[in-house]
Amino acid sequence: MPELILKPGKERSLFRRHPWIFEGSVARLNGRARPGDTVDVIDADGRRLARAAWSPKSQIRARVWSFDPDAIIDDAFFKRRVAEAVARRQAMPQLAGQDGMRLIHGESDGLPGVIADRYGDTICLQLTAAGPDKWRNAIVGALVKATEVFGVVRIYERSDSDVRGLEGLEPVTGWAYGEAPESSLSIDENGVRLGVDVVGGHKTGFYLDQRDNRLLTRDLAAGKRVLNCFCYTGGFSLQALAGSAAHVLSIDSSGPALAGARANLAMNPQLDPARAEWQEADVFEALRVFRKEERRFDLIILDPPKFAPSAAHADRAARAYKDINLLAFRLLNPGGYLLTYSCSGGIGLELFQKIVAGAAVDAGRDARILRRLSAGPDHPVALHFPEGEYLKGLLVQAD
């Protein structure tokens, strides 16, 4: 087996069980390895530490499959890891009755570069690194076996994220198992029916990570005038309507996303469409117009796209987060609630809180954090891999 030799001192992160080995930590590779091949990880003193997937074109040169240096990385390995990840979700009482959930969350489930989301009888699979790309067939087979209990009959691969380019990988999309459904996909999320587009939708077709936060929105919405910014296909909006909001205005710059939102509302006859308003616009510009019009809201949701894909973009992203939160505070009624989120990996929770606090000060508002928010339990964060906690949010109440 090829040997990845670390530079002196670069074994420390592995002792902390962090699964990434960066280019600058590698002294040399003994032997030949193709992208995705398994390599022995050996420190400068010759100690065997782990087995990892080799990725010669990425700054992350290897991702650890196992910290057992004698582990055998084969089909049986992936069958075990996938089965364990699925079993953890089955054991979570918070997920009981949900037919939309993340089954595999990459490094936090011991499967770096593997994302698998379940939508009813369909799984959307995303492989973002060279290692899982090499083991595609084993991972698909393991998923088929492990999800029999859910009645899964098809798997769509959606390996088209930009990060694959950093691995030197081409996009891969298509049905990896089974055939396309005869009708459109949808899930029941806490009593609200929501459509899912695994082929053309964002991420793997939907934002499963916000499920619990959408339920919180429903709990807060009764009798309130709600503004949902960057609404996509209306997940937050429909939960607010289900919570008896007086009126919900939803804004997105994408016409197709708003069409999907209207279709979702039509799938839920228990919700009153007269209380829903949809607006296609740039959110920043729309909020500035609302300020001039002196419009006010009781509950504002900010769930913007990823402003900072990496720490290198943090300064520019911080300005965007500051701007949007400042506008929200100026539109919020006294005693109103702001649900504000960041999914940018380059913006940590501490920095995000500082940004929101600065926005409140500039808006002349006193405010307090009622809850810190994150993704649901089907998006676990391994203690040794804090990078897995990409979604952070705050529930804030302003005076």
CA angle 98, 371, 352 (to 5 degrees): 105
The rounded radius of gyration (Å) of the Cα atoms in the chain is 22
Q: How would you classify residue 115: left for phi > 0, otherwise alpha for psi between -120 and 50, otherwise beta?
A: beta
Find the catalytic residue in 124, 229, 231, 343: 343
Residues 6+ apart with CB under 8 A from 70: none
- Between CA 8 and CA 190 the distance in angstroms is 52
**Tokens linked to 189:** 């999320």
CB 18 within 8 A of CB 68: no
- Between CA 329 and CA 188 the distance in angstroms is 33
CB 375 within 8 A of CB 345: no
CA angle 218, 220, 223 (to 5 degrees): 95
Q: Tell me the residue length of the chain.
A: 399
Respond yes or no: is residue 343 known to be catalytic: yes
Per-residue b/e over 29-64, b at no fewer than 16 CB within 10 Å? beeebebbbbbbbbbeeeeebbbbbbbbebebbbbb
Active site residues: 343
